[in-house]
Amino acid sequence: MNKRKREEEEEEGIRMGTDIVWQTPANPPHPHDYIFRNGIRYVKPYYFEFIAHVKNRWAGKTIVDLFAQEFKGRPYEYYVSAVKCGRIQVDGERVSVSYIVKSSQKISHFVHRHEPPVMACEVPILQKELDVLTVCKPASVPVHPCGQYRKNTVVGILQAEHGLAPVFPVHRLDRLVSGLLILARNASKADIFRQQIEGGLVRKKYIARVVGEFPKDELVVDANIDYNAREGRSTAEVRDSAKGKAASTKFTRISSNGAQSIVLCEPITGRTHQVGNYQIRVHLKHSGHPIANDMLYISDETVDRSSKGSSADRSACTSATALTSSIEEKVVNDCEEKSNVGFSIDPMCTNCPNLAPKGYDTDEEGLWLHCIQYSGPDWTYECPYPDWAKLTQTT
């Protein structure tokens, strides 16, 4: 890019700055924020103010070097242009590219935000009470805003499409896991759930589709969970090992066709953040029967991706939609018809003209791991089984 063209883009960025409506976390999502294409839910790119405060280790760096070194998702030249045109500010003021930041200063980065896509599934409401809401979370959709996800989350979709806010997720389900999600409708109810979970008063049940013929007899896996940051995954260690944290999971076979099995998974003990997450995945791997499409814990040779041509995400999506199929199918179709509109291209955006940010795969699969029940001292909430829990008998 020549110097004149860059200057024109910077000038365009300055002119745009006077007309842009910058969103913050306080701005709620709306139905018109979503674009549905080919079974994928996109978020229409929007302008957003990211706010951070200068950490002690950042102090003394130039504003451009700070961003180039700490936020490597964009090229150095972008940050130079962003500072020059005011897309990056310090304490609400424009600064020069050689400005030296000081500890605790407020830094604003005004970006054209592209959120990662998710499957175009509804979020079916299972139960709606005065203080509690339960939904069937589809695979691929994060529970709450995190990282690059904000509107493409269960919390965001519930607010945009059902007007339900605020809601407080009671427990975690990883993005690729589907099933029962409990949300408190006020902070006090959320705190009651939190105390019961931390006090070991809550039982959880999941089902998984695993490799091979799982044993008929109940199996309890007692093995420490040790997270390997370098490999980005956990391993199971013997109980008396100094590595990892103690964890125990009970498994019961529900059905099997010889090649794969449906297994009931009940975490007995374990760290709160592991339960229903890596604990089940790691313990199934340790048992010799990993989740049949868990690419993190299974070799490519044993993965059966076919499932009659349906990915786990689509299967989970189908299961969720089946709860209120006719209504929700119409909603998705109507959304697709109404959302086939374009969006403004930002001259400085490194993701435009694409809808999704760079590096995200729209064909990503969800795990064959599904939460079916949570129960406490005087309550029980449940979620229907997904379609992938029906095994085809082998010949």
pLDDT tens-digit map of 334-390: 444 444 456 788 988 989 999 999 887 667 778 999 999 999 999 999 999 999 999
Judged against a pLDDT cut of 90, whether residue 302 lies above it is answered with: no
Q: What is the pLDDT of residue 240?
A: 59
Q: Which residue has the higher pLDDT, 350 or 178?
A: 178
Rounded Cα distance, 265 and 249, in Å? 7
Mean pLDDT of all residues in 327-333: 42
66-91 residue pLDDT tens: 999 999 888 999 999 999 999 999 99
The topology under which CATH files domain 123-300+364-389 is Pseudouridine synthase (3.30.2350)
> Following DSSP, what letter does each residue of 231-254 receive, concatenated?
TTEEEEE-TT-SSSB--EEEEEEE
The residues, any chain, with a CB within 8 Å of residue 317's CB and separated by 6 or more, are 119, 120, 121, 138, 139
Mark whether 174 is an active-site residue: yes
- Of 363, 370, 388, 393, give the one whose Cα is nearest residue 116: 363
- Tell me which residue of 113, 83, 109 sits closest to 98, measured CA to CA: 83
Residue 304 pLDDT exceeds 70: no
**Mean pLDDT, the chain, as a whole number?**
83
CA distance 239 to 242: 8
Domain spans of the chain, in order of start: 31-117, 123-300+364-389
- pLDDT computed for residue 394 by the predictor: 63
84-102 mean pLDDT: 96
Which one is predicted more confidently, 360 or 238?
360
- List the CATH code of the domain at 31-117: 3.10.290.10
> The tokens of 125 are what?
């409401």
Q: Do residues 222 and 239 lie in contact, with contact meaning Cβ atoms separated by under 8 Å?
A: yes
Answer yes or no: is pLDDT of 310 > 60. Answer: no
Beta bridge partners of 251: 219, 265
More confident residue, 273 or 45: 45
What pLDDT score was predicted for residue 114? Answer: 95
Nearest to 17 by CA among 115, 75, 89, 68: 89
User: What is the pLDDT, as a whole number, of residue 242?
Assistant: 63
As a whole number of angstroms, the distance between CA 330 and CA 3 comes to 51
Residue pair 159/28 in contact by the 8 Å Cβ criterion: yes
Q: Give the whole-angstrom CA distance, residue 121 versus residue 212.
A: 30
Kindly tell me if the per-residue pLDDT of 241 is higher than 80. no
Tell me what pLDDT residue 246 has. Answer: 83
pLDDT at res. 365: 78
Place 296 in a pLDDT band, splitting at 50, 70 and 90.
confident
pLDDT value of position 210: 97
What is the mean predicted confidence (pLDDT) over 213-226? 92
Contacts of 141 (CB under 8 A, 6+ apart): 118, 119, 121, 123, 152, 153, 154, 157, 175
For residues 141-148, average pLDDT: 92
pLDDT tens for 111-131 read: 999 999 999 989 999 999 999
Q: Which of 65, 91, 174, 304 is flagged as catalytic?
A: 174
Reported confidence tier of residue 19, pLDDT bands at 50, 70, 90: low
pLDDT digits (tens, 9 = 90+) for 247-294: 899 999 999 999 999 999 999 986 554 455 789 999 999 999 999 999
